[in-house]
Chain A
Amino acid sequence: MKMHRSEEIWLIIGVAILVISMAITGYQAFALDMGTPSGLETIDPQKVDETAPFDKPGVYKTGDNEYEVVMTLQIFSFTPMDIEIPAGAKVTFVMTSKDVVHGFQVAGTNLNAMVTPGHIQRATQNFDEAGEYLVLCNEYCGAGHQMMSTTITVK
């Protein structure tokens, strides 16, 4: 099986691009802590309302301009709604679903996570720019899926 010189060069360049993209992805995920939402804790999806912290959904201050949003997703809403936080805040969303699979996406940011019943999902984002952000469900969850949204206001 002989390959042409030019084919070898082409494949080496191609593989190099793939390897570099992978190296950057790995560096960001593990050295810069930018990994994708991968919450590993579990919860009984039929007892969300009785299980801490989801028995008290809301916005909690956890440090110097650091917040935690404890949020449940259910057809066809987010709880809590219309979140307000100060500019520059670092916010961690702790989320679970009370029924089917939902998505949590904040337009204009890289916040994007699946929220499945039985798992507690976590995602962190720094909100540096003031403004109103649209939060929407990006996984089809039923007849009212197109209405499932809320906002985050940063001031």
Chain B
Amino acid sequence: MEAVAKKTMKQKVNNVLGANPLDARFSIALFIVAFIAFFIGGVLGLLQGLNRAGILELPTWLNYYQVLSAHGVLLVLVFSTTFTIGYFYAALSHTLGGLLSKVRKLGWIGFGSMVVGVVFVATTIIMGDASVMYTFYPPMAASGWFYVGLVFLVIGIWLCAFGAFINVADWRKKHKGQHISLLAFFAVGVFVLLFFGSIGVTIEVLMIIPWAFGWTDTINVLLSRTLFWSFGHTLVNIWYLTAVSTWYIAIPKIIGGRQWSDTLTRLVVILLVVLNITGGFHHQIVDPGITEGIKFMHVFMSLSIGFPSLMTAFAMFAIFERSGRKKGAKGLLGWIKKLPWGDVRFLAPMIAMIAFIPAGAGGIAQTNNQLNTVVHNSMWVVGHFHLTLGVTVVLSFFGVAYWLIPHLTGRVLTPQMNKLGVIQTLVWTVGMALMSGAMHYVGLFGSPRRTSYTTYGDNATALGWDPYLLLLAVGGTLLMVGVVLMVYIAFNLMFFAPKGQTEFQIAEPEENAAPTPKWTERWTLWIVLMILVVSMAYVIPVVDMIVNAPPGSPPFRTW
């Protein structure tokens, strides 16, 4: 109890002083990059949507696949990663009493490295030398500089991860026997995943660079794909874990409730970290060169990641119900009326959570091998990740932006801006529902992903997709309105909103909470367990891919 009292005291001090300006500047820099990437990515998304509906023919100097490569890189790699790092650095600064100056320095160097990486990647894509999608499957080969850019990007991420570890280790040394804050605990989980999850793809890129520059002749295609997805899948869950952190910590505060059980929340983080990386195989369910036995083991690996999400679903409803009852809600569902629906800081992440119910169910279905053959590489999958990423993650991030940006810049979210935010959220929700719904449907009828508008020579099946693709474009157009509104709001909160104090949203711990057991802090153990699970999943197939490898492939430039 005393610890709690002390913590709230510190929070109060923090709130009066506002954010540490040096730390705030770092997070804001990352958010600026994030929202610029979001804006450009959104414009490109609209071009794709209009093209796929057959409404817009792209000029010869702007190829569909070039546009799609940029859309994927900007939104998946740049927007999500920069937002995540900006948010967690702000969280570490706020809950650990400021960043160490060497950590801030490390962060800036990492940021610089990421910017250099993005410049390389973007330039090669714009020059038409890297229309290989963000997955860059060999033996399609981009300009070698594209991959060099990726190396810089990864190094930047690692530096930021190490900075976070150093800051947390330092705090723990100075606060022996205490738990790091729950938000910092999430941050450690995310940075552990960012670091370990990107080792595989780094090895892949280091194999590709000499091959792309022509210094080596051939490459192992299957191994490259496998290494890529050990990362690609983990990245997805990093944003998910980031979104979840705001559900557990900020949302209860915004609705006037309290946190869920601290221990169970930390357990969710631990489970997601330990179980995550191996999910990558569910992107290779119809690949050759992997036995059915291994593929079946991976059904288990992927489904097990669903378990912590089941825990989260329960926790969320429990938080809502408890806080509703405290405000006098009656009956089974009376608490719904007690939720602050008009507050965008609640509305946006709430819709994010609701979207995860169908999104998660779709994910569970498509990871079951035979069901995957129905939808693999079809537009269904694109619909799936515009729900998970485009709604669940993105609206959770926006929910954070509404209070974190003004907190960092010493400004406030005005009622007018809140109302605009509510409109943004609704436009975004309707747009995504139309676009993602159309994508899911048309995918079931066979329309493939990553394919510019085509009727395959007026094939009857392909012509049957057109009405859905038109709906997709309608949704995409609404989304563009949402993009413009959100970018306007974000930059307004950074530079133009009225000055004032905005609190960092952290809910009070559960009432009568039992003390959190010491074992939750044993990160070495969790990392060892994670490595064990990864080994169980990867050692046999990867050794097989190397030992029984076919002759490799030379590079191809097919665009």
Q: Do A and B come from one complex?
A: yes
Name A residues whose Cβ lies closer than 8 Å to a Cβ of B: 1-4, 6-7, 10-11, 14-15, 18, 21-22, 24-26, 28-30, 34-40, 42-46, 75, 99-101, 103, 105, 107-108, 110-122, 132-134, 136-143, 145-147, 149, 151
Q: Interface with A: B207-215, B291-299, B383-391, which one?
A: B291-299
In the complex, the answer to whether A112 meets B451 with C-beta atoms within 8 Å is no
B166 contacts the other chain (CB 8 A):
no
In the complex, the answer to whether A143 meets B63 with C-beta atoms within 8 Å is yes
In the complex, the answer to whether A117 meets B221 with C-beta atoms within 8 Å is yes
A118-B552 in contact given A1-B517, A101-B140, A103-B448 (Cβ < 8 Å): yes
Contacts of B137 in A (CB 8 A): 100-101, 139
In the complex, the answer to whether B291 meets A25 with C-beta atoms within 8 Å is no
In the complex, the answer to whether A118 meets B550 with C-beta atoms within 8 Å is yes
Residue interface bits B509-551, CB-to-A below 8 A is 1, else 0: 0000010010000000000000000000000000000001111
Q: How many residues of chain B are within 8 Å of chain A by beta carbon?
A: 76
Closest 10 CB pairs of A and B: A142-B558, A107-B446, A42-B550, A118-B550, A119-B288, A138-B448, A146-B454, A140-B450, A138-B377, A14-B310
In the complex, the answer to whether A116 meets B221 with C-beta atoms within 8 Å is yes
| CB proximity of A40 to chain B, nearest CB, Å | 6
Contacts of B517 in A (CB 8 A): 1
| CB proximity of B153 to chain A, nearest CB, Å | 21
Which of chain A's residues has its CB closest to B315's CB? A7
Q: Which of B286, B365, B450, B514 has the most CB of A within 10 A?
A: B286
A139-B368 in contact given A44-B550, A108-B446, A116-B221 (Cβ < 8 Å): no
Contacts of B170 in A (CB 8 A): none
A38-B288 in contact given A118-B549, A134-B446, A136-B456 (Cβ < 8 Å): yes
Residue interface bits B237-273, CB-to-A below 8 A is 1, else 0: 0000000000000000000000001011001000000
In the complex, the answer to whether A143 meets B289 with C-beta atoms within 8 Å is no
Contacts of A112 in B (CB 8 A): 286, 372-374, 376-377
Contacts of A3 in B (CB 8 A): 264
| CB proximity of A103 to chain B, nearest CB, Å | 5
Q: Report which of B289, B370, B550 forms a contact with A28, defined as CB distance below 8 A.
A: B370
Please list 15 pairs of residues, one from A and one from B, whose beta carbons are closer than 8 Å in the complex, sorted by A's number. A3-B264, A7-B318, A21-B365, A22-B368, A35-B369, A36-B372, A100-B137, A105-B446, A107-B446, A110-B370, A114-B286, A119-B550, A139-B450, A143-B131, A146-B454
Q: Interface with A: B4-12, B197-205, B300-308, B325-333, which one?
A: B300-308
In the complex, the answer to whether B451 meets A146 with C-beta atoms within 8 Å is yes
B553 contacts the other chain (CB 8 A):
yes
In the complex, the answer to whether A151 meets B374 with C-beta atoms within 8 Å is no
Contacts of A114 in B (CB 8 A): 284, 286-288, 377
State A3–B454 Cα separation when bound (angstroms): 54
| CB proximity of A121 to chain B, nearest CB, Å | 4
A25-B377 in contact given A114-B287, A117-B553, A146-B451 (Cβ < 8 Å): no
B65 contacts the other chain (CB 8 A):
yes
Which of chain B's residues has its CB closest to A38's CB? B292
State A99–B552 Cα separation when bound (angstroms): 11
Which of chain B's residues has its CB closest to A37's CB? B286
In the complex, the answer to whether B222 meets A116 with C-beta atoms within 8 Å is yes
Q: Report which of A36, A119, A142 forms a contact with B222, defined as CB distance below 8 A.
A: A119
Which of chain B's residues has its CB closest to A18's CB? B303
State A103–B157 Cα separation when bound (angstroms): 33
In the complex, the answer to whether A99 meets B139 with C-beta atoms within 8 Å is yes
State A18–B361 Cα separation when bound (angstroms): 11
Which of chain B's residues has its CB closest to A33's CB? B292
B414 contacts the other chain (CB 8 A):
no
| CB proximity of A154 to chain B, nearest CB, Å | 14
Which of chain A's residues has its CB closest to B266's CB? A1
Contacts of B284 in A (CB 8 A): 114
In the complex, the answer to whether A29 meets B292 with C-beta atoms within 8 Å is yes
Contacts of A44 in B (CB 8 A): 550-551
In the complex, the answer to whether A21 meets B303 with C-beta atoms within 8 Å is yes
In the complex, the answer to whether B288 meets A46 with C-beta atoms within 8 Å is no
Contacts of A118 in B (CB 8 A): 221-222, 289, 549-553
B14 contacts the other chain (CB 8 A):
no
In the complex, the answer to whether B368 meets A136 with C-beta atoms within 8 Å is no
Q: Report which of A111, A117, A147 forms a contact with B454, defined as CB distance below 8 A.
A: A147
CB contacts under 8 Å to A, within B408-465, are 445-446, 448-454, 456-457, 459-462
